[in-house]
Amino acid sequence: MVSPVDPKPRARLRPCLRPQASDAVAALGTVRRQEHHVAMKNERIPIVDLARELNIKAPALIRLANKIGINVIRVAATLTPGQAYRLRNAVDAEKQQARLATQMAARVPPQPAVSPRPARPTISRCDCCDYPFAHDEDERSQLCTECRDHHEQTDESIERKLTRLQAHAAMGYVRVAEYREANNKLVRERDEAYSKRDKWMRALVEIVVAHGPEEKGDGCVCGSKEFPCLTRRQLRHSNRGIYDRCEELEAMSEAEFNRVLYGDDYSFFQDWEDGVV
């Protein structure tokens, strides 16, 4: 006969711990962790021991400590674990930099590429057209660029000869235009130089005339009590030839003076280019 099923399930059996024992164990673990933390916090590392560990001299380690902001003065000083950690990292970084510097110094620097000596230009006359042309010093060609395609050859045809002569005629027209322009440029520069010279010369003569002798008295018209005044003496000291020419102009009549100085008659100045008569 089957026994009837109990409608209420039985509760699972659990181990029963006493509350007093579990609290004591937790309190003991907390105390031990605190003691360990305090011990680690209070543990000091002598600077000498750390220097021996890192294979570095103590004075050098002290300098490095001050460099990274750790105030260490004496060799007998001690460090906290955090300070020791920072110093280890700093020493490792310096050693790494030293290794990199050694490797860079050991590398053979690349040799600069030796550039060939630049060829110097030189001027020669073409054997074909007889015009001067520029070429490199190392180039031995005696033909200009324009004549390399039509230069004279043995037993050449009439067509080739006509081509060469026509090319030379065209080159001649171009050269004549170039020479004419260069000549015109030189003429313009010469005329500008003469114009500037005339302006300076007129100004100088006018200054000398403005420092002439007084009509009454022994002084100068500029107000100086003596004649010649300082201005005239300075010109005579600088260039006696120009000074003498200025006196000759000063002695001329007004009409002759204006004709020579402001006219187109330059015969008076033919031997006055360098100021020496």
Query: Is 107 part of any domain?
Result: no
Domain match, 196 and 154 both: no
Short-list 42, 53, 39, 54, CA closest to 78: 42
Interatomic CA distance for residues 97 and 238, integer angstroms: 71
Q: pLDDT per residue over 102-127, tens digit each?
A: 888 787 667 766 666 666 778 888 88
Query: Is 112 part of any domain?
Result: no
Domain match, 40 and 95 both: yes
Domain match, 264 and 197 both: yes
Domain match, 32 and 71 both: yes
- How many folded domains does the chain comprise? 3
Residues 6+ apart with CB under 8 A from 43: 81
Query: Is 90 part of any domain?
Result: yes
Query: Is 248 part of any domain?
Result: yes
Q: pLDDT per residue over 172-195, tens digit each?
A: 888 889 889 999 999 999 989 888
Query: Is 3 part of any domain?
Result: no
Residue at which a domain ends, from 67, 100, 133: 100
Q: For residue 265, what pLDDT band results from cuts at 50, 70 and 90?
A: low
Domain match, 196 and 246 both: yes
Give the type of residue at 154.
Answer: T
Q: For residue 10, what pLDDT band results from cuts at 50, 70 and 90?
A: low
Query: Is 221 part of any domain?
Result: yes
Domain match, 146 and 170 both: yes
Query: Is 111 part of any domain?
Result: no
Share of the chain above pLDDT 90, in %: 4
Q: pLDDT per residue over 206-224, tens digit each?
A: 888 888 888 888 899 888 8
Prediction pTM value: 0.40
Domain match, 200 and 148 both: no
Interatomic CA distance for residues 57 and 54, integer angstroms: 9
How far lies 177's CA from each of 64, 182, 183, 215, 273, in Å? Answer: 81, 9, 10, 61, 33
Tell me if 249 sits within 8 A of 205, measured CB to CB: yes
Least confident residue range of 8-17, 21-30, 104-113: 8-17
Lookup result for tokens 């220097």:
51
Q: pLDDT per residue over 136-176, tens digit each?
A: 777 777 888 888 888 888 888 888 888 888 888 888 888 88
Query: Is 253 part of any domain?
Result: yes
Domain match, 203 and 233 both: yes
Residue ranges making up the domain that contains 139: 121-177
Residue at which a domain ends, from 135, 153, 177: 177
Domain match, 131 and 165 both: yes
Domain match, 40 and 71 both: yes
Q: Which residues pair with 20 in a beta bridge?
A: none
Domain match, 158 and 201 both: no
CATH (domain of 35): 1.10.10.2480
Tell me if 244 sits within 8 A of 275, measured CB to CB: no
Q: Which residues pair with 79 in a beta bridge?
A: 45
The predicted pLDDT at position 113 comes to 67
Domain match, 66 and 133 both: no
Q: Which residues pair with 159 in a beta bridge?
A: none
Short-list 55, 61, 49, CA closest to 86: 61
